[in-house]
């Protein structure tokens, strides 16, 4: 596992100091200077849009889930309907006031932090409009949390297709950036579920779009990082709810586990798959099924081919490995303690009935927040083609080892849709990926307080791997926008910048995220 880049990189056109191995400082965007704010506020209120300027309102949005980027908006608008957002954007265009749109605020690079201007809180628009159980679709406002959508769908015996394993992701946020679930190797990312959207363009037009209606806008808005409009409503595909039949396989080698994951994905051998690790010492390949038939087919054909072990078998093999290496006993102790804390959380009786796991997102998200959540969360990631993935994971793992004693890797595949290629351009889907893209999140456990420089240096080294490998990133934009240009190239970024300038003449919507 080498961490050194093997190819020379072109100089960064955005940040000339962004050279590999040179420590860079956290780079919050400069705060907007507030020009015309007073006139804007008067005009906005005249347009009957409620603008909150109190510290209580603005302070609530001062940072995102990452907790390393801080910025205060001049005012907050709680989204209520498309007409109100249209009035907001028209007024903002006229006065040149930046508008930052926020869903669940689960960004980690400051993308949903307003460095001045207006913060538009989309969670105010979070109602389900209608459910069509026969057509298996739902029409919903896009500030809704995926979990709240699941609550409503479950009353009808339905479930969403795929959504992030985090209860407080919003539909709109995921449609803008991707959204990855452990069923993404089969069903694609959350953004691929959208059938139609209502969008308020940066100039305030309220437009319905889909693959067949205003397809150009639909392609730009899906996975568009909020650059080409505010998604206010979406029609999404849904499915019948099923609990999961879970299987866990444990590996001591990242490479072997990733290889097995990709074998399962290529052969459609499971309904859900993903890797969660405790460092690179205990690598868990999670495999799950929606039906007894699919599980039986897996057991018959694929189970014996996997090189992982059950919990007991893994422990038997780990004992001599650690017994002969006294210097690794602290790590063994950590593994044991982590297992004792974590495993019961995945086996809570109220979520397990007759051996089936119910409400997987609740189970996983509770664990994520309980064991990985903190005031600061640093989760750099790499998204690559299937071929480059093992290399990306191994190099990223070496960086984690260098910076932190304890960390987790989360790896999952994303089934790509050939007809969605236009959506994928300049997104988390790497341009060279075909069939599947793969993502790996590198998540340190914050066992102590780390300096922002330490965290930023860590992220930079992970992102450098992406530039070096020609990968992309899931956490795209914000303070890492310089990497986008370097990873994806000037041609594609400049082409999208030209489209952005045309759609958003005053460049007010979600500025500093990419452009």
Residue choice 2, 10, 48, 56 for contact with other proteins (CB under 8 A): 56
* 353 near other proteins, judged by CB under 8 A: yes
* 366 near other proteins, judged by CB under 8 A: yes
Q: Which stretch binds other proteins (CB under 8 A): 144-152, 298-306, 325-333, 334-342?
A: 144-152
Q: Which stretch binds other proteins (CB under 8 A): 63-71, 317-325, 413-421, 483-491?
A: 63-71
For residue 195, give the H/E element and its range: strand 194-200
Q: Which is nearer to other proteins, 133 or 296 (CB)?
A: 133
Q: Which is nearer to other proteins, 148 or 227 (CB)?
A: 148
* 489 near other proteins, judged by CB under 8 A: no
* 123 near other proteins, judged by CB under 8 A: yes
* 201 near other proteins, judged by CB under 8 A: no
Shortest distance, position 458 Cβ to other proteins, whole Å: 20
* 350 near other proteins, judged by CB under 8 A: yes
Shortest distance, position 349 Cβ to other proteins, whole Å: 6
* 104 near other proteins, judged by CB under 8 A: yes
Q: Which is nearer to other proteins, 104 or 172 (CB)?
A: 104
Residue choice 45, 129, 154, 402 for contact with other proteins (CB under 8 A): 154
Q: Which is nearer to other proteins, 146 or 483 (CB)?
A: 146
Residue choice 25, 36, 54, 337 for contact with other proteins (CB under 8 A): 54
Q: For residues 314 and 250, is the Cβ–Cβ distance under 8 A?
A: yes
Residue 310 phi, psi dihedral angles, 5° rounding: -75, 175
Pairing of strands 118-121, 99-102: parallel
Site for other proteins in 254-283 (CB under 8 A): none
Q: For residues 10 and 483, is the Cβ–Cβ distance under 8 A?
A: no
User: Which two three-digit tokens encode residue 279?
Assistant: 């460092």
Q: Which stretch binds other proteins (CB under 8 A): 24-32, 33-41, 49-57, 90-98?
A: 49-57
* 145 near other proteins, judged by CB under 8 A: yes
Q: Which stretch binds other proteins (CB under 8 A): 54-62, 85-93, 297-305, 459-467?
A: 54-62
Strand, helix or coil for residue 299:
helix
Strand, helix or coil for residue 314:
helix
* 324 near other proteins, judged by CB under 8 A: no
DSSP 328-395: GHHHHHHHHHHHHHHHHHHT-GGGEETTEE--HHHHHHHHHHHHT--S-----EEEEEHHHHHHHHHH
Three-state SS sequence of 93-124: HHHCCCEEEECCCCCCCCCCCCCCCEEEEHHH
Residue choice 63, 107, 184, 456 for contact with other proteins (CB under 8 A): 63
Beta strands in 419-459 (DSSP E): 436-444
How far is it, in rounded angstroms, from Cα 293 to Cα 127?
Answer: 36
Q: Which is nearer to other proteins, 156 or 208 (CB)?
A: 156
Residue choice 95, 147, 220, 496 for contact with other proteins (CB under 8 A): 147
Q: For residues 259 and 217, is the Cβ–Cβ distance under 8 A?
A: no
Residue 141 phi, psi dihedral angles, 5° rounding: -70, 150
Angle at which helix 490-503 crosses helix 481-488, to 10 degrees, equals: 120
Q: For residues 175 and 222, is the Cβ–Cβ distance under 8 A?
A: yes
- Residues near other proteins (CB under 8 A) are 54-63, 65, 67, 78, 104-105, 121, 123-126, 143, 145, 147-148, 150-152, 154-156, 167-168, 349-350, 353, 359, 362, 366, 369-370, 373-375
């Amino acid at each position: 596992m080498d961490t050194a880049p093997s190819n020379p990189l072109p100089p960064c056109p955005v940040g000339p100091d962004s050279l590999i191995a040179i420590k860079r400082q956290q780079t919050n965007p400069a705060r907007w200077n507030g020009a015309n704010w007073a006139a804007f506020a008067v005009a906005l209120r005249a347009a009957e849009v409620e603008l909150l300027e109190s510290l209580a309102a603005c302070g609530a949005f001062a940072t995102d889930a990452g907790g390393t980027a801080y910025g205060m908006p001049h005012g907050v608008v709680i989204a209520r309907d498309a007409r109100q957002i249209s009035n907001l954007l028209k007024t903002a265009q006229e006065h040149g006031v930046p508008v930052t749109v926020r869903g669940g605020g689960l960004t980690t690079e400051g993308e949903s932090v307003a460095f001045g201007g207006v913060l538009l809180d989309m969670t105010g628009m979070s109602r389900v409009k209608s459910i069509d159980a026969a057509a298996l679709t739902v029409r919903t406002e896009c500030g809704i949390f995926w979990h709240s959508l699941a609550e409503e769908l479950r009353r009808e015996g339905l479930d969403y297709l795929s959504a992030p394993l985090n209860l407080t992701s919003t539909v709109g946020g995921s449609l803008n950036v991707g959204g990855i679930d452990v069923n993404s190797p089969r069903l694609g990312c959350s953004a691929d579920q959208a059938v139609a959207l209502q969008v308020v363009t940066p100039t305030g037009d309220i437009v319905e779009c889909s693959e067949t209606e205003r397809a150009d806008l639909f392609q730009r808005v899906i996975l568009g990082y909020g650059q080409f409009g505010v998604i206010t409503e979406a029609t999404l595909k849904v499915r019948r709810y099923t609990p999961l039949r879970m299987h866990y396989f444990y590996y001591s080698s990242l490479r072997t586990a990733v290889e097995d994951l990709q074998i399962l994905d290529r052969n459609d051998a499971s309904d859900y798959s993903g890797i969660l690790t405790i460092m690179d010492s205990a690598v868990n390949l999670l495999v799950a099924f929606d039906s007894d038939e699919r599980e039986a087919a897996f057991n018959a054909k694929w189970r014996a081919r996997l090189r992982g072990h059950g919990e007991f078998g893994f422990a038997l093999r780990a004992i001599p490995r650690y017994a002969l290496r006294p210097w690794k006993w602290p790590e063994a102790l950590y593994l044991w303690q982590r297992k004792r804390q974590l495993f019961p959380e995945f086996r809570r009786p109220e979520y397990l009935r007759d051996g089936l796991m119910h409400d997987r997102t609740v189970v996983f998200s509770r664990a994520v927040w309980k064991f990985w959540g903190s005031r600061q969360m640093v989760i750099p990631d790499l998204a690559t083609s299937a071929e480059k993935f093992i290399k990306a994971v191994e190099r990223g793992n070496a960086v984690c080892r260098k910076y932190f004693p304890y960390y987790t890797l989360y790896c999952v595949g994303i089934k790509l849709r050939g007809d969605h290629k236009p959506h994928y351009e300049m997104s988390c889907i790497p341009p060279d990926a075909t069939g599947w893209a793969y993502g790996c999140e590198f998540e340190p456990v914050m066992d102590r307080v780390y300096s922002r420089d330490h965290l930023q240096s860590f992220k930079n080294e992970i992102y450098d791997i992406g530039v070096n490998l020609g990968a992309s990133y899931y956490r795209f934009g914000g303070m890492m926008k310089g990497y986008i240009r370097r990873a994806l190239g000037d041609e594609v970024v400049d082409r999208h910048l030209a489209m952005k300038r045309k759609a958003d003449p005053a460049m007010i919507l979600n500025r500093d995220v990419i452009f």
